[in-house]
Amino acid sequence: MFRGFYTVASGMLAQQRKTEMLTNNMANANTPGYKADQASMRAFPEMLLERLDSAQVPTENRLSIPFNQRLGKMNTGVYMQETTPNFVQGDIQETGRNADITLLNGNMPVDEDTGAVGSVFLTVEGTDGPRYTRNGNLTVNGNGFLTTNSGQFILDENGERIQLDTDEFKIGESGQILVEDTVVARLGIGFSENPNQLIKQGDGLFATEGNEPLQNAYDAEGVIFTAKQGFLERSNVDASRAMTDMMTAYRAFEANQKVLQAYDRSMEKAANEIGRVNG
């Protein structure tokens, strides 16, 4: 009976975490470059139950022979193993803003081991190493540095901050930044063969294991991308699908909750009625 409590509780926790993930996706449905999280649900390993027992042998010394009595299998519930971002490119929206940029994935290599499709990212300065983002909603701060809207510095291909003397600049399709038709810098574009290995952080940023820099997309073999100025990549959250999945998770949570209440009533009856000693 108590094992049933644990199984139901694990199901409720898994659905609660899935609901929280879907709620976060919905909250970022309008965040440029946001990559929707996906849940990986796994069942706990099944357990083979056996009972230790013994049998008395009718001999002079009354020998006792131990043996195992097999009871069967027990499923120990489900859990949410991990969340992984969906790196499918979102819709492209024209904004007309000079500092908005989107990276269009062209011909991207496919990881032979995992089947993951590679992706390119803007490089952002972090406190302990580079960070990467698909959010191209940029701005030029008061000192002329190109930054994200949350204030992180955008880096060039050499890992340096990009400082501009004017707001009137152009960004070429290959990532070069031009002021009065003169190339003053080139955007730092990182390439990841398997984006699923990136670690998702706040503000639409991703980090690598050990904060190692990604491969320079300009030097990566077979990587083709296009930088478009005045456009933004929208979030790839499917709002209608997320709402449907949220309702499904909520109903599954309610179903587990009702089973838990039934277990609770059974335990209450066992304690208060079956175990009562009549005087």
pLDDT tens digits for 236-256?
999 999 999 999 999 999 998
Shared domain for 70 and 92, answered yes or no, is: no
Residue range 16-37, pLDDT digits in tens: 999 999 999 999 999 999 999 9
Residue range 82-131, pLDDT digits in tens: 888 999 999 999 998 989 999 998 888 787 777 788 899 999 999 888 99
Shared domain for 45 and 105, answered yes or no, is: no
Shared domain for 93 and 209, answered yes or no, is: yes
Shared domain for 196 and 96, answered yes or no, is: yes
Shared domain for 182 and 252, answered yes or no, is: no
Residue range 48-66, pLDDT digits in tens: 666 676 666 666 666 666 6
Shared domain for 247 and 164, answered yes or no, is: no
Shared domain for 123 and 221, answered yes or no, is: yes
Reply yes or no on whether the pLDDT at 1 is more than 60: no
Q: How many domains does the chain have?
A: 2
Contacts of residues 12-19 at CB distance under 8 Å and 24 or more positions apart, as own/partner, are 12/253, 12/256, 12/257, 12/260, 13/79, 14/41, 14/77, 14/78, 14/79, 14/80, 15/249, 15/250, 15/252, 15/253, 15/256, 16/253, 17/80, 18/80, 18/245, 18/249, 19/246, 19/249, 19/250, 19/253
pLDDT at 266: 81
Q: Report pTM.
A: 0.78
pLDDT at 138: 93
Shared domain for 149 and 180, answered yes or no, is: yes
Structural domain boundaries enclosing 73 = 2-82+243-257
Residue range 169-212, pLDDT digits in tens: 999 999 999 998 899 999 999 999 889 889 998 888 999 988 88
Element at 101 (helix H, strand E): strand 101-105
Shared domain for 118 and 8, answered yes or no, is: no
